[in-house]
């Protein structure tokens, strides 16, 4: 299952208001708890896209701070609860170094857990994911590790970020897009070929009943 809204709709009104901040803090853990209750074994949250780096610096900084919070065990907003196994896909090299460290620590700390697999796409782009997978295949052909005839859907999928970093997480059966947007926003373009798509008008922080 995939679940995402859009950072352009992070909150109605001022994104810096106290009430908005409180609602955002509650929003990110909610899908994880719901999925655990519903017996969903794997959930991907589209937390931050590569396009989001083009937004105003203040807004980007707010999102980096929020991501730092939800990956901190000692923060009330943490998502590292209920025995989840945390994973991350995306170009994390573009993130602040402290956040990169938080992501690495979160993956290490939860690696032995047996609960739901929670994947966060941070600095992710479906286009870039496909490009880097094709580049990986080209390098293997150039190095004579792979024949051109061996390039198929299976080998390509293995080089995509989900296949490389979360090999035990398959393509999603369901995508839920909130906040009234009816587009994929460059998210997991390969993996969503046969997924069911649900578009909800409600903002993602109010999505407890989706």
pLDDT tens-digit readout, 178-191: 878 888 999 999 99
Asked if residue 208 has pLDDT above 70, the reply is no
Could you tell me the residue ranges of all domains in the chain? 2-125+170-209
Summarised one tens digit per residue, pLDDT across range 53-71 is 999 999 999 999 999 999 9
Check residues 79 and 36 and name the one with the higher pLDDT.
79
* pLDDT confidence tier of residue 200, bands split at 50, 70 and 90: confident
Average pLDDT rounded to a whole number, residues 6-16: 40
Could you give the 3-state DSSP secondary structure of residue 195? coil
Distance CA 145, CA 137 (A): 9
Q: How big is the chain by its Cα radius of gyration, in Å?
A: 17
DSSP state of 111: T
Confidence of residue 75 (pLDDT cuts 50, 70, 90): confident
Which CATH superfamily includes the segment(s) 2-125+170-209? Decaprenyl diphosphate synthase-like (3.40.1180.10)
Check residue 98 and give its pLDDT.
Answer: 96
User: Where does the pLDDT of residue 31 fall: very low under 50, low under 70, confident under 90, or very high at 90 and above?
Assistant: low
| Torsion 200-77-41-63 (CA) sign | positive
Say if residue 19's pLDDT is above 60: no
Average pLDDT score over the chain = 84
Distance of alpha carbon 14 from its chain centroid, rounded?
24
């Amino acid at each position: 299952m995939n679940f995402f809204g859009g950072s352009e709709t992070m909150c109605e009104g001022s994104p810096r208001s106290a009430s908005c901040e409180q609602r955002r803090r509650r929003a990110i853990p909610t899908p994880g708890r719901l999925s655990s209750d519903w017996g969903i074994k794997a959930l991907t949250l589209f937390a931050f896209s590569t396009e989001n780096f083009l937004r105003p610096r203040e807004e980007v900084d707010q999102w980096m701070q929020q991501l730092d919070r939800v990956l901190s065990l000692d923060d009330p907003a943490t998502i590292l609860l209920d025995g989840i196994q945390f994973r991350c896909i995306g170009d994390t090299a573009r993130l602040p170094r402290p956040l990169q460290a938080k992501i690495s620590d979160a993956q290490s700390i939860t690696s032995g857990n047996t609960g739901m697999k929670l994947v966060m796409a941070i600095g992710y782009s479906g286009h870039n994911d496909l490009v880097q997978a094709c580049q990986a295949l080209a390098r293997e052909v150039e190095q004579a590790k792979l024949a051109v005839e061996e390039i198929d859907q299976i080998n390509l999928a293995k080089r995509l970020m989900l296949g490389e970093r979360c090999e035990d997480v398959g393509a999603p059966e369901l995508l839920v897009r909130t906040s009234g947007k009816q587009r994929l926003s460059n998210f997991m373009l390969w993996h969503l070929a046969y997924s069911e798509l649900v578009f909800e008008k409600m903002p993602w922080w109010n999505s407890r009943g989706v």
